[in-house]
A and B are shown apart, each in its own frame.
Chain A
Amino acid sequence: MIDISNLELGIIDPESGANKPVLKGISLTIERGEAIGLVGESGSGKSMTLRCILGIEPRNSAVTGDIVFDGENLRTLPGQRMRRLRASKIALISQNPHASLNPVLPIETYLLEGMADAHGRNAKAARIRAGEMLEQVGIRSVDRVLKAFPHQLSGGMLQRVVIAGAISGRPRLLLADEPTTALDVTTQAEVAAILDEKRRDLGMSMIFVTHDLDLAAAVTDRLAVMRYGEIVEIGTPEQIRDNPQHPYTQMLMSIRPTLNGAPPQAHDDGGSTGVGTLTSGGPLTGGGPHDGGSTGVGTLTSGGPAVAELSAETQIGSTL
């Protein structure tokens, strides 16, 4: 269905010409109808991978590697062909629905535009179809929503509209980039359920980008754990949860807060013990790519990424 092989992306500094690697050889194959979760922390390259598939990576970047979708290499496809493909076969749902919606046009225009563009339907048929799509994503007051402007609807409602728009063209591949992260937890459950149901009904493949391992596990068949531009581990949600192989995955699993009383067992990820520990008056922990920075440019670190490595001691459950 889609075959990504050895995808590399570097951001070129316009002044020095230096190449800062963001993706370091991503290889990933997604079968027809399969959903795969890309999980990792900020700066791991999850979103950038999606951008490469769509051909919308930043201007000053150098990309190598192949992305073969239905027998065509997206990295070498002419602009016009790529545009047709994006309109009909690949759809993107981003974290912020406002990014997809024009604030001065009603919802109706957004939905009709997509349908007319991709399938050449006439206006009347498209309007009926738009109403049907909204019903499918659980919107009751279809007429009111069609006439509404984006600012008049809640985030959960808008994200449903964007999902309706994304699936209306029956794309083969759905790219979902943190689609529920900005939503309340109850709304997230509802929107994730809708997305999962519609994707299965229509037999679409999906790449689901999130930082939430449990959420990804709930809506995908396989998980790929990313860190610093590489896939460190790939497996079924059960494998990743019950038997993580890579130290980074083990760290992610052990460190996240859980609802259960007993926190998961701490582990030793080897060699870095103590470096990441933070106590009042304690030593400086490195601010490497781990530290929530989106770019890492200019961060003050006393060492490389290894310094920011989290030790078992930072495992919060055991200390509280």
Chain B
Amino acid sequence: MANIIEISGLNKTFRTSRKHEPVRALDDVSVAVREGSCMAVVGESGSGKTTLARVLVGLETKDSGEVAIAGTLVTASLKRKEQRARARAVQMVFQDPNGSLNRRLPVGSAVDEVLRAHFPLTASQRKQRVSELFKSVGLTDSHAQSLPSALSGGQKQRVAIARAFAAEPKIIVLDEAVSALDVSVQAQVLELLHALRRDRGLSYLFITHDLSVVRNFADDVIVMRHGQVLERGTADDVLDRPQSPYTQLLLECAPKPGWKPRRGVIEHLNSEIAS
């Protein structure tokens, strides 16, 4: 199957202040995502996983490297129309749904706005479409007319998913999209995401720190640390036979039945990587 995303040799540095060395957030990162698959990006804070997502979506510029979406290279010289198409093709769902909702407007307006931006629809057609989209994520018209404050965290995250789907994208970037949810709600939202992907042939870039979610949700995975990809492979391969000491450490530190936390694991890793 063709690759829907091809990222090669991507670099990004952030200059925090004149006194400090620039931070290499992305250090020669290459990723290919097969069409219709779910690629998990795993790493801890500061690993560069969110920067990777932001560059892909276009929220951040890159220093060097190439990003191709559905075979089209994304460059600064793209025409306005092409840029719009790119913006539509890649949608993002964030950890905190409040970030994509205006607390003074009914949540349906967040979805309506996307429709207005991308499709030549009349007001009544948009209303109809908002209603369909809410239904597809398990919400009703009365939810669409409520303010964000009247919805629970899980419901707001479903609105954020409906908003992403409204653009009829090819790719959805999920940046810790289920991390803040309770396990029972998380399971519902993951199942919803899975069903939507299956029905519409979408591809996901799934950013997470939670390896057990990777096991149950992703096809492939890359493990990142300090801006570099340390390991890549199918989710089962990486979780069952981790090659990198860092992946092994992540697996060892994840709480599981019969697990006990041990002191000194981080120091052990640092010495192993240094040697």
On A, residues with C-beta under 8 Å from B are 41-42, 138, 184-190, 192-194, 196-197, 211-212, 214-215, 217-219, 241, 251-252, 255-261, 263, 276, 278-285, 287, 290-294, 296, 298-300, 302, 310, 314-317, 319-320
Contact = CB atoms under 8 A, between A and B. Distances in A.
Contacts, number: 187
Contacts of A296: 152
A158 to B, nearest CB: 14
B172 to A, nearest CB: 13
A293 B154 contact: yes
B42 to A, nearest CB: 10
Contacts of B186: 257
Please classify the interface of chain B as helix (H, G, I), strand (E, B), loop, or mixed, using the class held by over half of its residues.
Answer: helix
A287 B155 contact: yes
B260 A259 contact: no
Interface of B: 44-45, 135-140, 142-143, 146, 149-155, 157, 180-188, 190-192, 194-196, 199, 209-213, 215-217, 236, 239-240, 249-257, 259-266, 269
Contact of B239 (A42, A196, A259, A317): A259
Given A300-B150, A319-B191, 18 more contacts: A41-B183, A186-B249, A189-B261, A190-B266, A196-B261, A255-B183, A257-B183, A261-B236, A278-B191, A281-B135, A284-B138, A290-B182, A291-B185, A292-B152, A292-B185, A300-B155, A314-B191, A316-B217
A259 B44 contact: no
A218 B260 contact: yes
18 contacts: A185-B209, A186-B253, A189-B252, A196-B261, A212-B255, A219-B261, A255-B187, A258-B256, A287-B151, A287-B152, A290-B184, A291-B185, A293-B152, A293-B154, A298-B150, A300-B146, A300-B151, A310-B187
A278 B188 contact: yes
List the 5 shortest-distance A-B pairs measured between CB atoms, nearest first: A293-B152, A292-B153, A214-B255, A292-B154, A193-B261
Contact of B216 (A212, A300, A316): A316
A282 B180 CA distance: 24
A251 B45 CA distance: 31
State the majority secondary structure of interface residues on A.
Answer: loop
Contacts of A294: 152-153
Given A285-B188, A300-B146, A257 B262 contact: no
B262 A280 contact: no
A263 B182 CA distance: 18
Given A184-B45, A252-B183, A310 B155 contact: no
Given A298-B149, A300-B143, A192 B254 contact: no
A261 B240 contact: yes
Contacts of A252: 183-184
A299 B155 CA distance: 9
A316 B249 contact: no
Contacts of B263: 138, 190, 193-194, 197
A276 B138 CA distance: 10
Nearest to A285: B138
Given A193-B262, A214-B257, A186 B192 contact: no
Contacts of B45: 184
A256 B184 CA distance: 7
A259 B254 contact: yes
B251 A259 contact: yes
A37 B137 CA distance: 35
Given A279-B191, A310-B187, A291 B154 contact: yes
Contacts of B192: 278-280
A261 B213 CA distance: 11
Contacts of A211: 182-183
Given A256-B183, A257-B210, A280-B195, A217 B257 contact: yes
A278 B257 CA distance: 28
Given A138-B263, A287-B152, A287-B155, A218 B255 contact: yes
Contacts of B240: 261
Nearest to B210: A257
A256 B256 CA distance: 11
Contact of A320 (B146, B149, B212, B217): B217
Contacts of A190: 261, 263-266
Nearest to B149: A298
Nearest to A301: B152
Contacts of B143: 300
Which of B137, B194, B261 has the most chain A CB within a 10 Å cutoff?
B261
Contacts of B250: 185-186
A294 B152 CA distance: 7
A280 B136 contact: yes
A196 B261 CA distance: 9
A320 B256 contact: no
B185 A185 contact: no
Most buried by A among B137, B211, B257, B259: B257
Contacts of B188: 276, 278, 285, 310, 314
Contacts of A251: 184
Contacts of A258: 212, 215-216, 256
Nearest to B217: A320
A97 to B, nearest CB: 15
Contact of A192 (B136, B155, B217, B261): B261
